[in-house]
């Protein structure tokens, strides 16, 4: 359920919009004061903000500018300011949509739905890599690896190397390429250090590290992740 903050100092509108959104199964917080609103946004997660512009203590424009320094949360400006220059300014400082008062609640609701749909599509999907027919699961967001349902602790360096190889399973990566892609150009390491990391990854994840199924050594060239995997939302 999406959580929405409505910032609006006119009680009637605040209550009307809140009621409409709640009726449509949204979770709604309501705030009438500008500074209080900014504090709420800083300390809570919202999926969308409906923002009036003329507010006590801090204007909606200032709130929007400040929010954009730390968040991409969709912002719908809801305001009596109907001049083109106000709208242009609103979009320039980071609004995603702009609706002028008076408005029809049904239109607001549809705009809210459209914004949420768009922002959910933009969100990067959590990726679960499935290796060895799903025996090994790698969650690239939480950096967790499990094998046969048991969590396998990898070091950060091991994880980075594994991600490089898995980024293109049919490609052979040289030791230099692995170092560069996993750690960056400035990383000061001789290429054989990669061998040690690979050995450790195999010891943790392969059934038989002498006959690896996952990470193959390509003599004279480097390493290749030999596997098929699919990504899941």
Q: Under the criterion CB under 5 A, does residue 61 sit at the interface with Ca ion?
A: no
Q: CB-wise, 66 or 206, nearer to Ca ion?
A: 66
With CB atoms as reference, the residue minimizing the distance to Ca ion is 54
Q: How far is the CB of 33 from Ca ion (least distance, A)?
A: 11
**Residue 87's closest CA among 105, 74, 101?**
101
Q: Under the criterion CB under 5 A, does residue 193 sit at the interface with Ca ion?
A: no
Q: Under the criterion CB under 5 A, does residue 32 sit at the interface with Ca ion?
A: no
Q: CB-wise, 55 or 179, nearer to Ca ion?
A: 55
Q: How far is the CB of 6 from Ca ion (least distance, A)?
A: 12
Q: Under the criterion CB under 5 A, does residue 52 sit at the interface with Ca ion?
A: yes
Q: Under the criterion CB under 5 A, does residue 54 sit at the interface with Ca ion?
A: yes
CB 71 within 8 A of CB 41: yes
**Residue 63: partners with Cβ closer than 8 Å, 6 or more residues away:** 7, 34, 37, 38, 41, 51, 55
**Residue 83: partners with Cβ closer than 8 Å, 6 or more residues away:** none
Q: How far is the CB of 96 from Ca ion (least distance, A)?
A: 19
Q: Cα(21)–Cα(49) distance, rounded to whole angstroms?
A: 12
**Residue 158: partners with Cβ closer than 8 Å, 6 or more residues away:** 197, 200, 201, 204
Q: Under the criterion CB under 5 A, does residue 16 sit at the interface with Ca ion?
A: no
Chain residues that interact with Ca ion, rule: CB under 5 A: 9, 52, 54
């Amino acid at each position: 359920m999406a959580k929405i903050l409505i910032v609006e100092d006119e009680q009637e509108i605040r209550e009307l919009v809140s009621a409409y959104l709640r009726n449509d199964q949204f979770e709604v917080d309501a705030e009438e004061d500008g500074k209080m609103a900014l504090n709420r946004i800083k300390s809570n997660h919202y999926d969308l903000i409906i923002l009036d512009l003329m507010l006590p203590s801090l204007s909606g424009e200032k709130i929007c500018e400040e929010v954009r320094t730390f968040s991409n949360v969709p912002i719908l400006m809801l305001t009596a300011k109907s001049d083109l220059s106000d709208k242009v300014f609103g979009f320039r400082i980071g609004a995603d949509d702009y609706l002028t008062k008076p408005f029809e609640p049904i239109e607001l609701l549809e705009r809210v739905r459209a914004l949420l749909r768009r922002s959910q599509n933009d969100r990067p999907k959590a990726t679960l890599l499935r290796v060895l027919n799903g025996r090994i699961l790698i969650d690239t967001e939480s950096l967790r690896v499990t094998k046969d349902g048991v969590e396998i602790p990898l070091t950060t360096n091991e994880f980075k190397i594994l991600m490089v190889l898995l980024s293109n399973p049919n490609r052979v990566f040289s030791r230099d390429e692995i170092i560069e892609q996993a750690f960056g150009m400035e990383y000061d390491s001789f290429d054989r250090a990669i061998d040690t990391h690979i050995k450790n990854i195999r010891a943790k994840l392969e059934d038989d590290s002498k006959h690896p199924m996952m990470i193959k050594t390509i003599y004279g060239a480097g390493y290749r992740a030999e596997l098929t995997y699919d990504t899941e939302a």
